[in-house]
Each structure stands twice: as C-alpha cells, then as structure tokens.
Amino acid sequence: MRKNTTNVPDLSYLQLDGAMTVFYQLNTAELVGAALKRNEGVLADTGALAIDTGEFTGRSPKDRFIVEDDITRDTVWWGKVNFKFDAEKFDALLQKVTGYLSQGEIFVRDCCACANEKYYIDIRVVTETAYQNLFAHHLFLRPEVPDATLVPGWTIIAAPGFKADPEVDGTLRHNFSIINFTKKIILIGGTAYTGEIKKGIFSVLNFILPHEKKVLSMHCSANIGAKGDTAIFFGLSGTGKTTLSADPERNLIGDDEHGWCDDTIFNFEGGCYAKCIDLTAEKEPQIFNAIKFGALLENINFIKRTRTVDFSNIGKTENTRVAYPLYYISNAVIPSTGHLPKNIFFLTADAFGILPPVSKLTVEQAMYHFISGYTAKVAGTEAGITEPKATFSACFGEAFLPLNPVNYAELLGNKIKKHNVKVWLINTGWTGGAYGTGKRMQLKYTRAMISAALSGELDNVKYTVHPVFNLQMPQSCPNVPDNLLNPSNTWADAEIYNEKANDLAIAFIKNFRRYAPFCKSEIINAAPKVTESTLVT
Ligand code: ATP
Ligand code: MN
C-alpha cells in the first residue's frame, strides 16, 4: 500500500491491503484539488466543485439491504423497506469490493456522527472518488483529533465504479447499499449518489438509538429562536425540511437528521444537503450563499459557455443538490444541539391540494399523521419516480427505519405529552386544485404560517374544523390571505373538493391498516372520517 502520509490507518480489517494509494484525512482544498486532477468535476464561478453522479441521481431504496444476523433477525421489521441480505454473500461481496478498490487510489476519512457526546459514533469512510470523501467531510461531524490507530465504530465503503453481478452476489441489480450490524460496515457499490452515504448511517442510528438507548431518532430539520425555543420539521423528501429550517430569524441546528434524548435535541450530522432546483438568492438566501469554495454541487448544468450555475436547468435531474458544512450557514448553532422543542411541524407536499396549508393537531392526530407520513413525492430523489405521486412513508422516513414504525411513534407521542409540545401539519404542496390545476403554495406564505405558529399568533385566532380530516384550521393568519387557509375555498368547485378529500381519506385509512394492529384505539380513532359506503375494500 502506498500512503500519502505516514499517518494512515491500518485497513487490514477490511482486507484492504493491496497496492492502492491511500489519501487519508485530506482537507477541503486538498480534496477539491484531487477531484479536479482526477477529472471528477470542475469549479463553478463561485468556487464550488461541480460533479455529476452519473447513472444514479437519487437514492435507490429497492437496492438497500440489511444483513440478516443475530442482531437483526428478530428486531428488524422485514418486508416493505428492509430487505434481507445473506451474511455469507455479504462477506464475499465485501472481498470483491475491497479487491476492486485495492487497484487504484482511495480516500479515507475518519469522522463521526451525533453532536451529543453521549451518543457519539466514530465513522471511517473509504471512498473511490475524492468528491464522495468531500461529501463525507461536509455531512458528518469532524473529530477534534482524528486517530488513525482507532478501529472505528462504523465503516462505510463507497465504490461507485464497482458493479455487482446479481446472480452471483445476491443483489437485485448492479448497484447496492448493504448494512451489516455485526461487522458494522455499510457497503455501497454501483451508485455514486452521495445521499446513500449519509442515509446509510442514518439507518444505523435509527436502529441503535431507539433500540439500545431509548433515544428518538428523527428525519427532521431543527432550528431555534432567539428565546431558545426549538422547532423541528418532519417531512419526506421535497416537503421543505431544508428550505424552511434555513430561516434568517432563527438559528439552524440541522437540516435532516436529529436525535431527541431526555434533555436535548441534537444533530446527527455536521452539514446540509440542499436541493438546488430553481434556487434564487431572493427566495433562499442562506442556501444560495453557501455555494462557495468547498461546497459540492451535484448534477447541475451551467449557463452555456459560462461556469455560472443554471438552477432552473433540470436536464440531468430535478434532484440537483449542494452539500456544505453547517458553518457555511451564517447562523448555524455549533455544536448543533438545542433545548427540547416547543413546536413540531409535519410537512407534507400534498399534490392533491386537499390538506389545509396549516392546521393544529391533537396528540392522537399527531401520532396518526406521524405513523401515516403522507406526502406526494416530488420527482427525482428516488430512481424511477418522474412525476408527483401520493405516498405514505411512516414517521416521514420509513425507508430509513429498521424497526417497526410504531416504536418511533410511541417515543414521539410520550414526549409530546410529557413536554406539552404543539404539533402543526403544514401543507407545502398544492392549493386551488391538484397538481396540474392548482399551484404550489408560495414559499412566503408557508414561511408566514410557520412564523405565526412559532410566535404564538395562532393561539388566539378562531379555528374551523375540516369536515373530513377533523383538523383545526385557523381562520386567519398574519401575512396570509384568509381564503388560502381553508383549501375548499381555493377550489373552483367545493363539491369536487369534498369528493377528492374523501378519496384521499380512504387512501389514509387503507394505508393505516398495516399499522393499526400495533396501535391503541385512540390513535386509530384519529383517522379522517369518510362516507362509510365508499370504504368497501
Ligand atoms: P430532502 O429530505 O430530500 O432533503 P427536504 O424536506 O429538505 O428534502 P427541501 O430540500 O427543503 O426538502 O425541498 C423543498 C423544495 O420545494 C425546495 O426546492 C423549495 O424551494 C420548494 N418549495 C416550493 N414551495 C415551497 C413551500 N411553500 N414550502 C417549502 N418549500 C417549497
Ligand atoms: Mn433536506
């Protein structure tokens, strides 16, 4: 093995002891330099590194597996999102991947996750490309003094150029992301989409924290106001976690993954991974200004004959992204922890234009909607999705949850009750009709509704009850036109609205059948009320 410095960790535990050159713990400038030298990308005019991830520009949930072993066999909720992988096949595939990586250059980085030292885990990331290592450098936390002699808690191996042979290797396709809880290894191959790296560790934490430590792990963003009031924003991809948590009036704790223990909220990560589609300095100034030297732009296009990013160009994918460390946002909280939340927002991008743009939930409704995890997926983040489609994903992140979702919901419900937290459902999606007829709620109005909820201005207004979903809808909200607050007013025909609301409610009820056997009756009773005759099957 050739080493770029003498201080290189022993990688023999991975059988990585071939003739490769190892670059250990390069800093941002060195990684950008290496990426340019290796023709992985080019610099944009703001200094950010722009790369393409190739075949995959989003995660590939069907190709994500968990090794079945003594730890996972009776604990993981196998089925819908957690697919089994054979332990021996894993060992064989690991050997093939490390053999492949032993041929060239590799980038090794020691980092960690969880901004709360009680739950801190060490992570070693071994990547085939310099830019994936830069991604890990930005998204994970940085240890004060990296220790190359340490055998890390977890190791992630990312080899995008390695293609599996499904027949021999036991994968579904040539790309894969496999978690092995016994070996503490995440093995990623055949895909260069960097999001797989961060979501791999997120899945691990979603197992370890609730199962072993009784800490709630959450797919949410978090920010904190001047008075120390924390707010958290749950939501599936594209619903607004990153966008709405970047708020100049509040300090950012984190944009995607957090833990909730007895006394604090803490970020798992050290960076942000923001969408770039239609980004403007006016609408999203903080994200826009973070796209500077060191930031990693993915799958963007430039304006012809320039190195200026054309944020409206979605020629490669709608899921264009930028990764940057948290401190690129001027008002980030470091270390990223906060007091227990006073407000929780469930974000949904309802493509049917049915759910009210802001509504207040009871504890039971909160648990019902948390377990339902409804949204309409916006194109691009997952392979094969090309237009918005209604989806349910428990806890607003079922794809990353190894345990039965009801475990997480119970932890959340207990915390909401114990700390008397207000819970709001925010529809950042369509108004005035479904996708195609209506249009997306303007960001400035969503921001105004959230501000009003946070400041307490929605505590003393009158509310209307939604006829189907039973949600409390405010009749007025500062800086938002009254007529937007009740979705039925925004539709051309209120009767059609009611019909469609009933249809969506049926979809909720059918989806919930999967979870109902594990839930108390008061949660099941928080379901929307549909016309009985329409719910036949
Ligand atoms: P991911 O889990 O993939 O990171 P996310 O929940 O962080 O997703 P964002 O990256 O914030 O989602 O994406 C929301 C997108 O929707 C942004 O591109 C934002 O500009 C756009 N958008 C349009 N209207 C709204 C609105 N009313 N509220 C929030 N976002 C909106
Ligand atoms: Mn995000």
Average pLDDT over residues 422-427: 98
Question: Among this protein's residues, is 62 annotated catalytic?
Answer: no
Say if ligand 1 is within 6 A of residue 466 CB: no
Report the amino acid identity of residue 372.
S
pLDDT in tens, 390-410: 799 999 999 999 999 999 999
Whole-number pLDDT of residue 145: 82
Evaluate whether 370 touches 409 at the Cβ level (below 8 Å): yes
**Arithmetic mean of pLDDT, 334-355:** 96
Looking at residues 428-448, what average pLDDT do you find? 94
- Tens-digit pLDDT profile for residues 227-262: 999 999 999 999 999 999 999 999 999 999 999 999
Report the pLDDT value the prediction gives residue 390, as an integer from 0 to 100. 78
- The verdict on whether 321 is a catalytic residue reads yes
Select which of 96, 124, 183, 321 is catalytic.
321
Q: Which residue has the tokens 């770039």?
A: 276
Task: Mention every residue, 6+ apart, whose C-beta is less than 8 A from residue 433.
Answer: 353, 490, 491, 492
Q: Is 113 left (phi over 0), alpha (psi -120 to 50) or beta?
A: beta
Q: Is 122 a catalytic residue?
A: no
Beta strands in 362-446 (DSSP E): 374-377, 389-392, 422-427, 430-431, 439-440
This prediction's pTM: 0.95
Whether the CB of 157 sits within 6 Å of ligand 1: no
Using pLDDT thresholds of 50, 70 and 90, give the confidence band for residue 386: very low
Q: How far apart are CA 79 and CA 59, in angstroms?
A: 18
Distance 129 CA to ligand 1 centre (A): 28
Separation of alpha carbons 296 and 323, rounded Å: 5
Map out the domains of the chain with their CATH numbers.
2-26+57-213 (3.40.449.10), 216-260+340-524 (3.90.228.20)
The answer on pLDDT for 148 being more than 90 is no
Contact 356, 477 (CB under 8 A): no
- pLDDT for 380 beyond 50: no
Phi first, then psi: give them for residue 371, nearest 5 degrees. -70, -35
Torsion region of 240: left, alpha or beta (phi above 0 gives left; psi -120 to 50 gives alpha): left
- What is the whole-number distance in angstroms between the Cα of residue 132 and the centre of ligand 1? 24
Could you tell me the distance, in angstroms and rounded to a whole number, from the CA of residue 214 to the centre of ligand 1? Answer: 30
Do the annotations mark residue 240 as ligand-binding? yes
pLDDT category at 376 given cuts 50, 70, 90 is: confident
Reported as a pLDDT band with limits 50, 70 and 90, residue 387 is low
DSSP letters along 304-347, please? TTSS-B-TT--SS-S--EEEEEGGGSTTB-SS-EEPPEEEEEEE
Q: What does pLDDT average to over the chain? A: 94
Residue nearest to atom 30 of ligand 1 (CA): 240
What are the tens digits of pLDDT across the range 289-330? 999 999 999 999 999 999 999 999 999 999 999 999 999 999
Which of 72, 177, 242, 245 is catalytic? The answer is 242
Which of 374, 411, 365, 368 is closest to 396 using CA atoms? 374
Using DSSP's 3-state secondary structure scheme, residue 354 falls into coil
In angstroms, what is the span from residue 254 Cα to ligand 1's centroid? Answer: 15
C-alpha 240 – ligand 1 centre gap (Å) = 3
89 in catalytic set:
no
Distance, CA of 261 to CA of 408 (rounded, Å) = 13
Name the catalytic one among 109, 137, 183, 241: 241
- Beta strand residue intervals within 80-215, DSSP E: 83-85, 105-113, 121-127, 154-159, 176-180, 185-189
Measured CA to CA, the distance from residue 223 to residue 337 in angstroms comes to 9
305 flagged as catalytic: no
Mutate to test the pocket of ligand 1, among 220, 242, 319, 346 (most ligand atoms within 8 A of CB): 242
The pLDDT value recorded for residue 379 is 54
Give me the pLDDT at residue 288, please. 97
| Residue 56 CA, distance from chain mean position | 17
The arithmetic mean of pLDDT across residues 509-522, rounded, is 96
Nearest to 482 by CA among 447, 445, 450, 427: 445
Q: Ligand 1 in contact with 40 (CB < 6 A)?
A: no
What would the pLDDT profile of 153-207 be if each residue is shown by its tens digit?
999 999 999 999 999 999 999 999 999 999 999 999 999 999 999 999 999 999 9
Is 176:189 a contact under the CB 8 Å cutoff?
yes
Ligand 1 atom 29, closest CA:
240
CA torsion, ordered 222, 226, 227, 231, to nearest 10 deg = -20
Say how far apart CA 163 and CA 431 lie, in whole Å: 44
pLDDT above 50 for 475: yes
In tens, the pLDDT along 54-81 reads: 999 999 999 999 999 999 999 999 998 9
Among 199, 233, 239, which is best to mutate for testing ligand 1, by the most ligand atoms less than 8 A from CB? 239
Task: State if residue 229 touches ligand 1 by the CB under 6 angstroms criterion.
Answer: no
Residue 18 has pLDDT above 90, yes or no: no
- Give the integer Cα–Cα distance in Å for 354 and 340: 31
Q: How far is CA 428 from CA 238, 277, 297, 315, 449, in A?
A: 9, 16, 25, 25, 10
**2 pLDDT tier (thresholds 50, 70, 90):** low
- Please give the radius of gyration of the chain, using alpha carbons only, rounded to the nearest integer: 23
Query: For atom 23 of ligand 1, which residue has the closest CA?
Result: 443
**Residue 241 annotated among the catalytic residues of the structure:** yes
Q: How far apart are CA 441 and CA 212, in angstroms?
A: 41
